[in-house]
Structure 1
């Protein structure tokens, strides 16, 4: 199981970014986790997958920006340890 924590910076709030991340996780399949806005204007994503190529594709698509109006200027991706999720949801 690969678990990552991502912090997306750029134009990521007010542009449907969280919904785009949710749709991307659903479309790719095999990705579970959570996504939410942070008070500092960034978006945090906790994601996990048993399939490394799927996770790599998910991260690649997040870097591109999952919605037409979003623009990711920096994506911090680190391995993480968190409670496993059974689905992917938008938190808060």
Structure 2
């Protein structure tokens, strides 16, 4: 049976600290000026238990950083790649790391 932890809002989610991850994704395509960051934040909040941000980059990409249970990060990554996102996603590149912390919720930067 998997361990269960509780997020600050009191909702339980599967896993413990050992399954927490940091996912950084760079989304390319027509993803700026179309509400992409707002929808990314809304989807991260819907998934729940994720902290991080979405940021427009100068080269036209959007950077998304999400920390939380690895399965939830993977769900956000799947949405970035295949979901009903605004604009047009041409591709997503991601890297995985250990969480660094320091985020208060999921922000638009």
Please give the TM-score of this superposition, normalised by the length of structure 2: 0.74
Which of these two proteins has the greater Rg computed from alpha carbons?
A: 2
Structure 2: gaps spanning 5 or more residues: 1-19
Aligned length: 89
Structure 1: gaps spanning 5 or more residues: none
- How far off its partner does 1:66 sit? 4.9
CA RMSD of aligned residues (A): 1.6
* Counterpart-to-counterpart distance in 1, 2:84 and 2:108: 14
Please give the TM-score of this superposition, normalised by the length of structure 1: 0.86
- How far off its partner does 1:53 sit? 1.9
Matched, 1:72 2:89: yes
- Larger RCO (alpha carbons 8 Å, 6+ apart): 1
The residue number in structure 2 matching 1:87 is 105
* Counterpart-to-counterpart distance in 1, 2:97 and 2:36: 22
Query: Runs (4+) of structure 1 moved beyond 2 Å?
Result: 64-67, 80-83
The residue number in structure 1 matching 2:66 is 47
Task: Encode CA deviations 1:10-60: one digit per residue, 9 max, x unaligned.
Answer: 0100110000100000111011101110000000011111x2221111110
The residue number in structure 2 matching 1:56 is 74
